[in-house]
Structure 1
Amino acid sequence: MQSQDWSRSDERLLQAVEQKEADKVSALIVKKNLCPTKLDTEGKSA
Structure 2
Amino acid sequence: ERILHNLSILFERTFATAQELNRYRREVTARTNRVADGMVDAI
Same fold (TM over 0.5): no
Identify, as 1 or 2, the structure richer in helix. 2
TM-score using structure 1 length: 0.32
TM-score using structure 2 length: 0.34
